[in-house]
Amino acid sequence: MPTSASLLAATGGGGHFVDLDVPPWAWAALVGVIVTLLVGDLLLVHRRPHDISFKEAAIESAVWIGLGLTFALVLAWTAGGAAAGEYISGYLIEKSLSVDNVFVWAVIFSYFAVPAKYQFRVLFWGIFGALVLRAAFIFTGVALIERFDWILYVFGAFLLVTAVKVARHSGAEVHPDRNPVLRLVRRVVPSTPDLDGQKLFTRRTGALLATPLFAVLVLIETTDVVFAVDSIPAILAGSHEPFIVFASNAFAILGLRALYFLLAGMAGRFRYLNRGLGVILGFVGVKMLLVDVVHLPSPVSLAVIAGVLTVTIVLSLRADRRAGDDQGMAPPSLNDTMSSQS
């Protein structure tokens, strides 16, 4: 049994998954790194509100992806290649499924006419809240699997149904005015229709009022819960170790803010994205249903997911290019889209 840095890699309960004996200090270190990255990004990189350019978003996305892959190397060194494989598989699943989440954010920001320079601060608190909610979902899911083996089949069937819905869905549709949580917040929390910079709350005539950015944050958090219901069971199909599942989820969503500014104006260019995500969810669902019959190693699952994503993106960009040539005009750029929101 390989042992390194007090992380003990062993064969898990079903004989197929990695089981780690994670000491408390390792959990503290992981949470500490995540909090440090979040706070450092806020105070050092995005201390002042500004419009984030395509180049800046691309560089930041590359940095966040690099950090996620670096953690995979650390995990491989301390816990073995199998643990790193499960982490990468979960990371890629969460990253791919989060693309739809990014497009939903674009719709929400557009609906509330939030200036581009204030969007990052809202997303910062949105990501912070998402990490807390995802942790709760992950530990609950793992606890259910450990206590009830049959819950895997429920998750698998749920993912198959979700896969069909996602594949048939043509785009990100959000109706903020119909959101029951937002309606409740507006009734309970005193609010003002005016922005006060990037503040979530402001004082007017001595009263503390919520700005429209707080309503946007509420919508972002509620939509993230919906996406988490899909992504968490999918990741649990490839790993039952809470440390691995949480780490892959956390590092994947830490970079979503940069990914948003990179892709927000490109929703129309990924016309086959939902079909690709549907295939990925279907594959994961079948894998979960057949867990006692056949076990696909993490590298195989990773290859399938990466292959589907690659084919989906290539076919989407080719179709978009042909459509642009037929119309004799190029599709709108990200900068044009972001400027229209300001």
The pLDDT tens digits of the residues spanning 189-219 come to 888 888 888 888 898 888 888 888 898 898 8
pLDDT of 244: 93
pTM beyond 0.85, yes or no? no
Which residue type does 277 have?
Answer: L
Q: What digits encode the pLDDT tens for the residues 76-127? A: 999 888 899 899 988 988 888 877 778 788 878 888 888 888 988 898 888 8
pLDDT of 307: 86
Cα 138 to Cα 96, 222, 236, 248: the distances in Å are: 18, 17, 8, 11
The count of domains in the chain is 1
CA separation for the pair 99, 342 (Å, rounded): 22
Per DSSP, the three-state class of 11 is strand
CA separation for the pair 248, 242 (Å, rounded): 10
Which residue type does 318 have?
Answer: R
Q: Where does the pLDDT of residue 72 fall: very low under 50, low under 70, confident under 90, or very high at 90 and above?
A: very high
Question: What's the gap between Cα 60 and its chain centre?
Answer: 16
Q: Where does the pLDDT of residue 25 fall: very low under 50, low under 70, confident under 90, or very high at 90 and above?
A: very high
Count the residues in the chain: 342
Q: What digits encode the pLDDT tens for the residues 219-274? A: 888 888 877 777 888 888 778 899 999 999 999 999 888 888 887 666 566 777 77
Residue 287 has pLDDT above 60, yes or no: yes
Rounded percentage of the chain residues whose pLDDT exceeds 90:
14
> What is the span of the domain harbouring residue 274?
3-341
Neighbouring-strand partners of residue 209: 202
CA separation for the pair 195, 290 (Å, rounded): 52
